[in-house]
Structures are given as C-alpha cells and as structure tokens.
A and B are shown apart, each in its own frame.
Chain A
Amino acid sequence: MDVVALSRLQFGLTALYHFLFVPLTLGLAILLVIMEVVYVSTGRTIWRDMVKFWGVLFGINFVMGVATGITMEFQFGTNWAYYSHYVGDIFGAPLAIEGLMAFFLEATFVGMFFFGWDRLSKVQHLIVTVMVAVGTNLSALWILIANGWMQHPVGAKFSMATMSMQVSDFSAVLMNENAQDKFVHTVAAGYVVGSMFMLSISAMYLLMGKHRAIALRSMTVAASFGLASSLAVVSLGDASGFTIAHDQPMKMAAIEGMWQTEPAPASFNIVGLPDQATHVTRDAIHIPYALGLIATHSTSTPILGIDQLVQQNALRVASGAQAYGALESLRANPNDAAALSIFNAHEPDLGYGLLLKTIDPVVTDATPAQIQQAAWATVPPVATVFWSFRIMVGLGFYFIALFATLFYRACTRRLDTARWLLWLTAFSLPLPWIAAELGWTTAEVGRQPWTIDGVLPTALSVSSVPAMNVAISIAAFVIIYSALFVVEMFLMVRTIRKGPGQVHPAPIFITRSPIVPASQPAE
C-alpha cells in the first residue's frame, strides 16, 4: 500500500477507535448531571450512589477518550502535513478554540468530579459535573465545526502567495449549516449511546436480581432521556440529509445508490446492491417519492444521479486543469498578467484540477480520457456508503421503538415484568456503537475523494513521509490500542460485576413488580 492508503487506514482506525469512547462520554456526562440534579434537589442518597457508580464507569471510559484523542490531533501533523498547511488557517482555529473553551473545562473539572466529593458542597459538586458535561458537549461542537468545514468549506479563499486556504468570513465557518446539523445529530447519537449503556447494564442487574433500586431508577432516567435523544437523532439526521443533498450532492447520490437522475419526486432505494463497475444498483426495492421528500423537502425538485454529477465534474476537472497551469506560472512569476486572468476565471475549480495530479502529474496536458477518469474518481465507494447509511438508519428506528417501549413501561412501573424485554435491552448494548461508527463511515467515506470537499483531494493531503513510517506507526497503534482495549474492557466488566457499592432494598414506589414482595421495606 502507498502512503495515501496507509495514512487513510491509520486515520480511519484511530478515528473509529476514538469514537468508541467519545459518544459514551457525551451521553453519560449528561445522564450524570440529570441524576445529580435529582440527588441535590431531593437529597435522596441513592441518587448520589448512582452518580458515583455510573461515574466510575464514566471515568474508565473518559480516560480512553482523552488518550486516543491526542492521537487524532497529532495525526494531522504527522500524516497529513500538506493538509495541515493548506487549511491550517481555518481548520486549526476551531481545534485551538476547542482546547481553550471546552477541553480545558472538561479535563480540569473531571478531576474534581472524582476527587471533590468530600471537599465540595452538594451544589458545588453539581456545578463541577455540569461543567464536565458542558465541556464535553462544547468540545463536540468545535470538532464538528472543523469537520463541517471539511464537508462544506465556506468562508475561505485560496491564497496564491501562501499556497493555502485563508479564512475570509469566520462567522460563515461557525454558522456552517453542515456543522450545525452534524453537531446536534452527533451529540444526540452520543446521548443514545449513553442511554443504552445505562439501560443494558441495568437490565442485566434486573435479570440477575441484583441492585434493583439503582437499576430501576437508572432505567427510568435512561429510557426517558434515550427516547428524546433517539427521536432527536433521527429527525436531525433528516435535517442533515437535506443539507447534504444541497451541499454534497455526490454524497447524497452515493447514499442513495442513484446512478441516474430520476424525475422529481425521486424514489428511495430501501435496499439494493450498488455496483461501482457497471453503475447500477441491482435488485433495488423502492419507496416512491421518499427520497425527493427527504432530500429536497419538496415533490418537484429533481435530484441528480451519479452519472450526471460525474459529467458536471468532468467540466470542472478540465477547468481546474487550466487553473492549475496558471497557478504554476504565477508561482514562478507573480506578475504574469495573462496567467492571472486565467487563474481568476478558473479558480473555483482548482481543487478539481488537483484531482488530476495523481492521474497525470503534469495536469495541464491531461487527455479527455484522463479527465473522465478524474471525474469518475469523484464518486465515493457507493456500496460502503449505501449500506452504512441504511444500517445506521434502521438502528435509529429500532432505538426509538425500544426506548419508547421501555419508557412506557417505566411510566407504568412495569419495567421488570417482561424478562424478554430485559434480555432484548441487554443484548442491544453494542448496537448504538455500531450505528455511531457507521454514521462516521457514511459521513467520511462519503466525502471521498476529498479531505476538503471540492478543494483538496485526499491523495494530495498526506505528508511526504516514507510509507514505511506510516506502516510502523499503524502497527504500534494496533498493539497499544488492542492492549488498552483488553485492559479497559476488563476493568469495565469488573466494575459492572461488582456493581454499585451499597446494596439498597428495592423500593416499592417505583415498581409494581410481582417479583418484589410488598412487605419489603421502602428506604
């Protein structure tokens, strides 16, 4: 494999790994706040015990998020040096502000969350927990502003003198619709992960007949929060679909496996087998009108298929090649007026010209066949995006159904009367992680072949380092991450087995379960 493939592999592996821990941190942080608010407002110590117990699990997870997060920041510099210089002016700013505004907050207060129980008043400790939650969520905001800019690079302009993108309108970067949708969608997905984590572990306790008081309360909190979050994640995913159709039509077409433009309103392929070689999606089952509604929120706007988008892109590649040629002349002689006027005319397509670079290093003498090849390279791996998206969405609807059922049973105090439901909940534990990882895959594989959509191709973004360096560092990450994963899971399982420190008698006021004799004393 070459340095591009290896760098992508490393980024994918480390990002997916990092993203195992981040959503749980996001979700549990808010759940801890909710439980601690109940403790502070009611004074019932069982809620403090809940915060402490789930807090231990939060801590084991949090530390892995921190450890693997540093890798992500470093990696831009080590493996994606050209990217770092080309867009650091814009992309670096949200990362730095994330550190200043968010990560300092969460990392400083997280220590107090664990060490502050004896030193702080109830309200002070609650404030600490709130700060951790605010920090984690703000952190996600800034990271997704950075990521949103990669998907939809607004508010920036290419500068010839510095050979980099320069920010021209920072508020456009902040208010990027792509970033806003993604932020809410992603944190809500984190809340679903956190809710499922609490629900599944609590369900296991109920199945084993242990820690009933804490398990029932935890389930009630997590079912309500999870239901709200799963509704949010799906509806905001829909908002995200609308934005993507608008800003990244190629990604939308790939998600849909739609090779040819369909007359409005387009139908939605619920399943099918996209074939990148023959440009068809075989054995598709359609829902009429659905895609048109999702993508354009109208019944009359057409949606372009991959073939048509590729033909549009071929024109941009040809135009980009001219921009590239003019840029070369201008780098040699900044006063070349003829080159400047060509460059100004074709500048928006420069990124498409750069796509040619891996096909024809000279770029400017590209043949029509090479231009076609570059244009077809703008199609992401359709089947990957198509299936990731469908499994994610399917899981999203499953979470709504499951959380709604649990919420209904929590309201009617029959959470632990149906063992099948508890088993189902327990076994659903890994599902939100799968959905989250597939969400990342849809968004980031769907962005290919670009690191910055339409601006900088992935193949050019890498560092000029030997492929062997990247291969060795992948090996190092695989070893240390696997070892840490084993250790982390071991400690998680051990903590869960041990359960909450104090065993509380099951209270009657939260359940009508026949398993609990009515004579059992309330606390």
Chain B
Amino acid sequence: MNTYEIFRLIWWAILGVLLIGLAVMDGFDLGAAMLSPIIGKTDSERRVVINTVGPVWEGNQVWLILGGGAIFAAWPMLYAVAFSGFYFAMLLLLMALILRPVGFKYRSKLQSTAWRNFWDAALFVGGLVPALVYGVAFGNVLQGVPFTFDNFLRISYTGTFLGLFNPFALLCGIISVSMLLMHGGAYVACKTEGEIRARAQCAADIAAICTIILFAMAGVWAAHINFYTVTSFAGTGAPSDMMAKTVSRTAGGLLANYKALPITLAVPAIAFISALFTLLLLRRARRPGLTFITSGLTVAAIIGTAGVSLFPFLLPSSSDPGASLIVWDSSSGLLTLQIMLVATIIFLPLILLYTSWIYYVLRGPVTVAHIESNDHSVY
C-alpha cells in the first residue's frame, strides 16, 4: 500500500463518518420536525416536540456544512459533479434548509395561530424535503448518473431533474424518510414524557416496520441493478485524472463487493438486527435511551450499506462509465488530504466532547409545563 492510497481510503472512511454523522445527528431533528404536527395535538405539545431539538438543531446542521466542506476539500470533483448535476435537487434542499432555521427560531415569536400553523408547515417541509432528497440522491448514485468530461476535465452532465425521481431512487428516498422518522421518534421519546412519548414511540414503531420492509425490498432490487466494475486504472497512488481508466457494466454488480468479501455482509445485517431491536424496544416502551442508540445504529448501517455496495465508486457515470468517479482518481492531492486529516484528528474529538457536554447539560425531558412557564425563552 502506498501513502496516497492509505489517505484516500481514510478520506473515503471519513466521508462515510460525516454522512453518518449528518444522518444520525441532524437526522433526528429532521424526523422530529416532520413528527411535530403529527404527534403534537395542541400548540404546547408541538412546542414540546420542537423544543426537544430546539437547543441542538443548529449544531447538528453543521454536519451538513462540514460534510459539504469536506467533500469540497477532499473530493473536489465529486463536489463539482454532484452539486452542479443535481442542480434543482440541491436548490430544493437548500430552500428547505433555509426555511428550517427560520421556522425554529421565528415560529413561537408571535401568538397568532395562522403564523404558527404556517411555520409548522414550513418545519414539516423543512424536515421532509431534505430527508427525501438525501435518499433520492443516494438512489441515483447507486445506479450511476449521466456525465462525462472533456479534455480539460470540464463536466458535461446530461441528466434531468425529473429523471432523478426514478423508481429505485424514490424507494431510497422513502427509506431515508422512514428511517429518519424512526430515529426522530426515538429521540422525541427520549426527551418527553407520558402521552407525547407514547405517540412518538407509536410513530417510530410504524416507521421502523416500514424501514425494515423497504430496506429489504431495496436489497432485492439492488441485486437486479446493472452496476459497474473498474477494469483498468492508473493505480491507487496515481494523480487524480478521472479519464484515465476503463469501466464495464456488469449485471448484478451492485452486490459484487458482498460476494468478493462476505464479511461485508455484516453491514446490512447490522442494519436489520438493530432495526429489529429498535422495534422490540419500542414495543416494550422501555429504555428510550437504548432505543435511540439502536435506531442511530440502524441509520448508520443503512448508509454504510450504500457505501460498501458502491466501493470503490463514489459516483458512477451511466453515460460514460469510464468517466466515473472512484476513490483512486477523484481525491485532492496527498498534501491536502494529510493537512485535512490533522485538522480532523484535532477538532472532531473536540466537537464530540463539547457536543456531549451540551447534551449532558440539557438532559431530562421537555414538558408542557416547562414550555408554558418559559413562554418567551423557548421556541
């Protein structure tokens, strides 16, 4: 193994960690935002749900910003192709993400019911759209999207916006929504009591069942997707030139990594087992903290499954498979990867440390009484 190869692998893993961080941390507040109009019957109850994530969503959303920044720095071509290719999907995501912070902050500033209903709707959309778009994006990445490069590596992307919403991608989108609903429900159950907790658990229960069924369906479907195999490339330590390789299409290739290395089957297996555990714990309505952990593990393993299935691809090209982005030919230079790793090693543990402190300070449930007695200082 050469140094560049090792660093590319490390950054592939970090990419996974950041996406999982996003889904596990920001995912539960997307889920909670979707659930608030469903499990909150009264204004105060909705505020309870919103305030379970109130003090933390802002920090959680940084996982997205960090993910974007890390892709920009470590996988610039992936950033360029995905963001410009998925143009309107990104715009949609962005609009939802703009509504969300504003919705959290502004919703309870006025007493008016119309005002609050409007922002509840905005928060619901702000939770649903990102969850859906993330899943749909993964669904497209798993099938490849149509793009190629000219001699100076200028991208030409030939896909359309509506083309992104193909059946398999939609299935992935729904998996994403249901797993985040499960995770959001598990979180709300941790942070509330009584009636609201029971409803959150009920919602998470339904979402967990959907997640298990849909994830299994996607697995069966994936076995029938024609995927890609790298047939020749410049080397794991060669400079990043996406056009210096050949790739062929193979039937059933999306499962090739599991056949080649059966141990990797552990990843989807963990997804199923932890989802079943989550369901079991929800049914018993005990140990909400543990339930949250198992649902987080489910989310992580589902994303991990997508990552293992794709490797070494980051983004396959369906129109010109040779132009696909793979781990070995679309990273930044070695020096950038090294500098960024140093920064990550220093700051990621710090982030986890102070984030844990925040959750420790905020421990304990949010209650209707608490909301009503702190009308002005909470969301």
Contacts of B362 in A (CB 8 A): 115, 119
- Residue contact B102 to A78, C-beta cutoff 8 Å: no
Contacts of B62 in A (CB 8 A): 99, 103-104, 107-108
- Residue contact B73 to A74, C-beta cutoff 8 Å: no
Contact of A78 with B90 at beta-carbon distance under 8 Å, contacts A73-B65, A164-B76 already known: yes
Q: How long is the Cα–Cα vector from A67 to B64 in the complex, in angstroms?
A: 12
Contacts of B336 in A (CB 8 A): 89-90, 92-93, 166-167
- Residue contact A92 to B332, C-beta cutoff 8 Å: yes
Q: How long is the Cα–Cα vector from A439 to B98 in the complex, in angstroms?
A: 26
- Residue contact A114 to B56, C-beta cutoff 8 Å: no
- Residue contact B361 to A116, C-beta cutoff 8 Å: yes
- Residue contact B355 to A108, C-beta cutoff 8 Å: yes
Contacts of B157 in A (CB 8 A): 464-465
Interface size on A, residues (CB 8 A): 76
A98 nearest in chain B by CB position = B69
- Residue contact A95 to B73, C-beta cutoff 8 Å: yes
- Residue contact A77 to B58, C-beta cutoff 8 Å: no
Contacts of A59 in B (CB 8 A): 105
Interface size on B, residues (CB 8 A): 72
- Residue contact A82 to B240, C-beta cutoff 8 Å: no
- Residue contact A473 to B91, C-beta cutoff 8 Å: yes
Identify which of residues 80-131 in chain B touch chain A, using a CB-to-CB cut-off of 8 Å. Answer: 80-84, 87-88, 90-91, 94-95, 97-102, 104-106, 109
Spot the interface stretch: B174-182, B291-299, B344-352.
Answer: B344-352
Contacts of B97 in A (CB 8 A): 67, 70
- Which residue from B95, B106, B376 sits with its C-beta under 8 Å from A476? B95
Spot the interface stretch: A33-41, A155-163, A386-394, A417-425.
Answer: A155-163
- Residue contact B335 to A161, C-beta cutoff 8 Å: no
Identify which of residues 58-85 in chain B touch chain A, using a CB-to-CB cut-off of 8 Å. Answer: 58-59, 61-62, 64-66, 68-74, 76-77, 79-84
A111 nearest in chain B by CB position = B55
A88 nearest in chain B by CB position = B76
- Residue contact B94 to A84, C-beta cutoff 8 Å: no
A312 contacts chain B at the CB level, 8 A cutoff: no
A112 contacts chain B at the CB level, 8 A cutoff: yes
A85 contacts chain B at the CB level, 8 A cutoff: yes
Contacts of A78 in B (CB 8 A): 83-84, 87, 90-91
Task: Provide the B343-372 mask, 1 if CB < 8 A to any CB of A, else 0.
Answer: 110011001001100100110000000000
- Residue contact B54 to A88, C-beta cutoff 8 Å: no
- Which residue from A99, A112, A159, A480 sits with its C-beta under 8 Å from B358? A112
Contact of A96 with B73 at beta-carbon distance under 8 Å, contacts A63-B102, A104-B66, A491-B106 already known: yes
A100 contacts chain B at the CB level, 8 A cutoff: yes
Contacts of B88 in A (CB 8 A): 469, 472-473
Contact of A67 with B95 at beta-carbon distance under 8 Å, contacts A73-B68, A101-B343, A108-B58 already known: no
Q: In the complex, how many angstroms separate the beta carbon of B280 from the nearest chain A beta carbon?
A: 33
Contacts of B340 in A (CB 8 A): 93, 96-97
Q: How long is the Cα–Cα vector from A502 to B347 in the complex, in angstroms?
A: 41
A331 contacts chain B at the CB level, 8 A cutoff: yes
Contact of A68 with B241 at beta-carbon distance under 8 Å, contacts A88-B76, A166-B335 already known: no
B344 nearest in chain A by CB position = A100
Q: List 29 A-B contacts (CB under 8 A).
A: A67-B102, A71-B94, A73-B69, A74-B94, A76-B79, A77-B84, A77-B90, A85-B153, A88-B80, A92-B79, A93-B336, A96-B73, A97-B69, A100-B66, A101-B347, A104-B351, A107-B59, A114-B55, A159-B239, A161-B239, A163-B153, A166-B332, A168-B335, A332-B151, A463-B84, A463-B155, A465-B157, A472-B91, A480-B95
Interface residues of B (CB under 8 A from A): 54-59, 61-62, 64-66, 68-74, 76-77, 79-84, 87-88, 90-91, 94-95, 97-102, 104-106, 109, 151-157, 238-241, 332-333, 335-336, 339-340, 343-344, 347-348, 351, 354-355, 358, 361-362, 376-378
A60-B106, A85-B77 known, 11 other contacts, Cβ within 8 Å: A63-B104, A64-B102, A74-B94, A77-B79, A77-B84, A79-B84, A100-B66, A108-B354, A115-B54, A164-B76, A494-B109
Interface residues of A (CB under 8 A from B): 59-60, 63-64, 66-71, 73-74, 76-79, 81-82, 84-85, 87-93, 95-101, 103-105, 107-112, 114-117, 119-120, 131, 159, 161-164, 166-168, 170, 328, 331-332, 463-465, 469, 472-473, 476, 480, 484, 487-488, 491, 494, 501
